[in-house]
Structure 1
Amino acid sequence: MKKWIISAFLYLAIVIVGYFAYEAVFGVDEKLDAHTEEHTASTSEAKEAGKAHDSHSGDELHEHGQQTSTESEVKVTVKEENQSLTVRLEDLAGNPVTDLEVSHEKLLHLIVVDDHLDQYFHLHPEETTPGQFKVESPLKEGTYKAFVDIKPKDLNYEVQTILFTVGNPDTGEHSHSSLKIDQTLEKTINGNKVTMTPTSLVVNEPVNLTFDVHGAKLESYLGALGHVVILDEQADEYLHVHPLDGDTPVFETQFSKPGIYKIWAEFRENGNVTVYPFIVEVKS
């Protein structure tokens, strides 16, 4: 009888010790697994939120004419052939890019300047085949820089400087003349006078460009009261700016580095678009 009771107590003790040993080992692992899954889920949500924030920030920068630091997912080529300018858009896999948003009434804005920034063209090629746009070329023989302004859907894009030639220009003795800063920011073209008044031209600070058209009645042009394109002296820094509101020709922008810049302001009066060029210096 005593032996049976002792055996029962020993068996019960073994069961209890075994239970607590199992709980100590496997219970902790289950808690760690649960904690790991929770942490992983939280990290994933944080990453997704970060991506959404970055994407939104990039859209805002592009809307104000600023270039972003995001790697472009669209390859752009510009070529002059058969008296036409051809623009081709491809993704990184070589497929034509066709899904573009309309921006200021056009799918594509093509800005072209010559080496000396004397000639300026704001063109709007039309899509002829998927990913290919064409427009009649107004260019003479020479070397040019192009800027293709588009808004692809679901693809990152940054405007790049595209160098191309027309004909066979002699580049052996080519020299780039420096821009001369305007002493007065007032231009009269075809009898129309425009005065530009900038706020402090300092890098990394918001700058307002206010244009006085001296009583002229401006008309809507490409869905806005006017357009302003800005390039630095080397035609590497590109800004395309639109009015702050729809009633007054006031434009806000920001310069990322000091130097000399050329500003082209486009306004439409009596059905005609006139371009007014200004040259300013931005200081550090």
Structure 2
Amino acid sequence: MKRGILIWAVSAIVYLGLVIAGYSLFATVNPKNNEQTKHVDHDQAKMDNQEGHQAHEGRTNKASDVTPKVSYANGEITIELKDKNKHVPELEVSHEKQMHLIVVSSDLKKYYHLHPEKKNNGLYSLKHNLPDNAYKIFVDIKPKGLNYTANPIKLNVGKIHQKHNRNDLDVDLELTKTIKGQTVELISQSFEANKEITLNFNVKDAKPDPYLGALGHVVILDEDGEKYIHVHPVADDKTVFKTQFNKPGVYKIWAEFKFGERVNVYPFVIEVKE
């Protein structure tokens, strides 16, 4: 009996040793398994970071759950918000405001950065006189728990206005602009599609004052006024911004900086190449 138990124990130990050896041999022959797992984890983290960066810029590839309606009458802009279920969405505060309203004329010459206030039943409004023209409106918001993309909304004011046609913007040969005595220079190594671009704004021996929770704001539109990008500085003490252009083409940049009680808007037209 004891001899049988001894034989069984020895057999079990030998079998266990063979299993361990076989697994070790498999791991040695297939070293890529662990590397692939690490690579997948790294890629997922990279995707998560990219999604966060896109949300910061007001961009997302997902379908929007909220479609704003914009109207204008008697010098007042009104925005109505409803989600896909006809409910009123709750908005997060982003850079000190629940809503940033970017209004540009269709020829991209006029630019306004406004902040309508909440009224009731999903209505936001603001008194602001718009000259007769064709405009594109971007309602920049962060609805809680909902996907959202700031798409252009066409708005015609008055009887005489420009049509919403493609613009022929002249690319700036000199990226230095002076507004109300304060000069700002846009410095960038290159403007290439599908690469992270650094936009460094040299404010020429001056330091902007904090404005809406940041040292500056940058809004970018493509030549058609369809592709909207809104970015903020990479740090609280720098006028440096990072973004990405998905397609080559001509883009217009509006850089906003506050000096004292005055907010200057610096327009730049750039060409993004392949």
Please confirm whether the aligned pair reaches a TM-score higher than 0.5, indicating the same fold.
yes
Instruction: Check if 1:164 corresponds to 2:147.
Output: no
Q: How far apart, CA to CA, are the structure 1 residues paired with 2:256 and 2:216?
A: 6
Structure-2 residue corresponding to 1:120: 111
Instruction: Give me the TM-score of the superposition, normalised by structure 2.
Output: 0.79
Q: How far apart, CA to CA, are the structure 2 residues paired with 1:171 and 1:246?
A: 39
Structure-2 residue corresponding to 1:80: 72
Q: How far apart, CA to CA, are the structure 2 residues paired with 1:177 and 1:152?
A: 32
Q: How far apart, CA to CA, are the structure 2 residues paired with 1:92 and 1:195?
A: 43
How many residue pairs match? The answer is: 231
Structure-1 residue corresponding to 2:198: 208
Q: How far apart, CA to CA, are the structure 2 residues paired with 1:136 and 1:237?
A: 27
Alpha-carbon deviation of 1:214? 0.6
Structure 1 contact 80–137 (Cα < 8 Å) conserved: no
Q: How far apart, CA to CA, are the structure 2 residues paired with 1:59 and 1:268?
A: 29
Q: How far apart, CA to CA, are the structure 2 residues paired with 1:75 and 1:241?
A: 22
Structure-2 residue corresponding to 1:275: 265
Structure-1 residue corresponding to 2:137: 146
Q: How far apart, CA to CA, are the structure 1 residues paired with 2:197 and 2:162?
A: 37
Alpha-carbon deviation of 1:136? 1.2
Q: Read off the aligned partner of 2:74 and give its amino acid letter.
A: N
Instruction: Give the fraction of aligned pairs with identical amino acids, expressed as a percent.
Output: 45
Q: Secondary structure at the match of 2:266?
A: strand
Q: Read off the aligned partner of 1:267 and give its amino acid letter.
A: F
Instruction: Give me the TM-score of the superposition, normalised by structure 1.
Output: 0.77
Q: Read off the aligned partner of 1:168 and give its amino acid letter.
A: K
Larger CA Rg, structure 1 vs 2: 1
- Structure 2 gaps of 5+ residues are 1-43
Alpha-carbon deviation of 1:133? 0.5
Q: Read off the aligned partner of 1:90 and give its amino acid letter.
A: K
Q: Secondary structure at the match of 1:60?
A: helix
* Pair 1:66–1:126, CA change in 2 (3 A): closer
* Pair 1:62–1:129, CA change in 2 (3 A): farther
Question: Residues 122-154 of structure 1, C-alpha deviation per residue, up to 9 Å, x if partnerless?
Answer: 000000113110011231111100001101111
Q: Secondary structure at the match of 2:68?
A: strand
Structure 2 contact 131–157 (Cα < 8 Å) conserved: yes
Structure 2 contact 208–258 (Cα < 8 Å) conserved: yes
Alpha-carbon deviation of 1:210? 0.3
Q: Read off the aligned partner of 2:76 and give its amino acid letter.
A: S
Question: Residues 71-108 of structure 1, C-alpha deviation per residue, up to 9 Å, x if partnerless?
Answer: 111111111112100011101122222x1110000000
Structure 1 contact 58–68 (Cα < 8 Å) conserved: no
Q: Secondary structure at the match of 2:52?
A: helix
Question: Residues 242-266 of structure 1, C-alpha deviation per residue, up to 9 Å, x if partnerless?
Answer: 0000111000000000100000000
Structure-2 residue corresponding to 1:93: 85
Q: CA RMSD in A?
A: 2.1
Structure-1 residue corresponding to 2:122: 131
Alpha-carbon deviation of 1:216? 1.3
Structure-2 residue corresponding to 1:224: 214
Structure 2 contact 134–161 (Cα < 8 Å) conserved: no
Instruction: Check if 1:109 corresponds to 2:93.
Output: no
Structure 2 contact 106–162 (Cα < 8 Å) conserved: no
Q: How far apart, CA to CA, are the structure 2 residues paired with 1:92 and 1:261?
A: 32
Alpha-carbon deviation of 1:213? 0.6
Q: Read off the aligned partner of 1:60 and give its amino acid letter.
A: G
* Pair 1:163–1:202, CA change in 2 (3 A): same
- Structure 1 gaps of 5+ residues are 1-51
Question: Residues 186-217 of structure 1, C-alpha deviation per residue, up to 9 Å, x if partnerless?
Answer: 00111110000013210010000001111112
